[in-house]
Structure 1
Amino acid sequence: MTTKSVPRQAVLIVNAHSRKGQKLFDDARQKLEAAGVELLAAHAVRNPDRLAATVRDAVKSDAPMIIIGGGDGSMSGTVDEFVGSQCVFAVLPLGTANSFARTLGVPLDLDSAIAVIANGRRRRIDLGMIDGDYFVNAASIGLSPMIGETVPHKLKRYLGRIGYLAWAVRCFVGLRPFRLIIDDGSGERRMWATEVRILNGRFHGGVELTEDADVDSGEIIIQAVTGRSLLRLVLDWYAKFFKLRSREAHAEDFRGREFLLDTRPHHRISIDGEVLATTPVKVKVAASAIDVVVPMTDGPALS
């Protein structure tokens, strides 16, 4: 078995609208080059709507690797451009929760993340899909879309996870249980739920929600916090945040390659932090979709 090496040439594209993007762009560029990564181009994109187009142009230019700097929304919003290409995706975590970086084992501080890009290895990973839209890590129905649609950007940008948590408490007051319908092709399940997570990776909101999801498993996990009690949802997050023995007690997991997902009433879906879909949806895994850069010690090697 041979391991493909990480390219030594790359294009750096940073979401300068992300929490730390503008501040760290120049530092990232200098430190990447000092670490031995030759930057063919470097872009600080101040308009998030231009991020995907900038990545698309870099992929078309045959860049061997593109380093994306930003949060989970930046990763998810640009990952579609890598599918079907030979371009390697490298993560520079500059967001609030950085759940995708956590899933890949990429450190969250700038110097250590750059060391991974310079000295790590390639890994072939799965992506999630919701109605044909690729996502990197996790989607959610329930509290996350409520937060995503209403949270003031400045609160999230300047206070980070503390501001996000404070807004979550505010939104929690308006949360209501709903009917969830899951169909895996062999049968339909109906239940009450207060939150649903669609997991390609282990983390959501910076919290490890499952130990079973892996980005190269060839499967996706639907995790439902069941019942009508909002206290049950609070206990679930509490148990998972503090990694208590009871962390599996309040949610039910469904594992498979493809699901039809619906709710009554219909609900909005937050995809890697961005509210982009509404039930009903088709959820599936896109197995072995892209190459990413991970630490040398993380997961199985790419052969």
Structure 2
Amino acid sequence: MKKHGVLVVVGLVVAVTGWFSLPLLASIPELKLSTARGDVSRGAYLARASGCIACHTDVKGGGAPLAGGAPLKTEFGTFYPPNLTTDVQNGIGGWTLEQFAIALRHGVSPSGDPYYPAFPYEFYAGLSDQDITDLWVAFQTVPPVAQTSTEHQLGFPFNLRRSLYLWQAMFLDERLFAAEPDKDERYNRGKFLVESAAHCAACHSPRNLLGALDSGALYTGGASALEQEGNIPPITAKALTEAGWNELDLGYALKTGVKADGDVFGGSMAEVVREGTAYLQQQDRNAIAYYLFNRDD
């Protein structure tokens, strides 16, 4: 019995030590961006393309821009997109550019807490220094709103935020976006928008039990992470063609929300179009369509 007691104590010590050592898994480098000046217009455009406005603004509830989005109800619990205005107490007004970059690329807050992957930093990790600087200066033009961000409502064990360090160590790929040198400009622009900024795989790909993307089945569709939304359709070239889409129809749908069969997008895709892709230049919507129809599935 005495031996068993010692083993239990040792096990508890190991478990506690491991739990408090999880932050050591976060390999956050000292970050110094290579850009000296940002472009506000380009940053505002990228914020639309990246879904920042759609997610962090409660449009239906009449909320101020970027002051906090509508709740996202998922099987893991309910997530509340936080305030991203320049308010110092409630938003990002007290952040530095480097802290903003670490949040986007590494999923870690200025206080050192890991973010839940409901915030798609696994895709924003591909953004360049210039992209991040442009986004930053654009966010600096947003008026401050003194609206407190609502805490996420998550049950056990998903409320154990420290465990996200382990999730990030297992699943987060922090590689910058890289153009394919043997492909043309339209293809690579579409690739950037689909794979990084617009993070299409976040919804149109299946995920495992821990909420990580199934990298071997990207864009093949799957159950929506949002409650009561059902299944998200595949957007591989083969699936799109079989569903009656072509590049022209898809580019048009990303502007208007009207699908190839004359129906309209519903659910979260309707929001993506209304608050995001409808604001893109036609050449960018066409580049998205071109990439999806020409990428190697």
- TM-score normalised by structure 1 residue count: 0.28
Greater relative contact order (CA < 8 Å, ≥ 6 in sequence): 1
The structure carrying a bigger strand percent of its residues is 1
Which has the higher Rg, Structure 1 or Structure 2? Answer: 2
TM-score w.r.t. length of structure 2 = 0.29
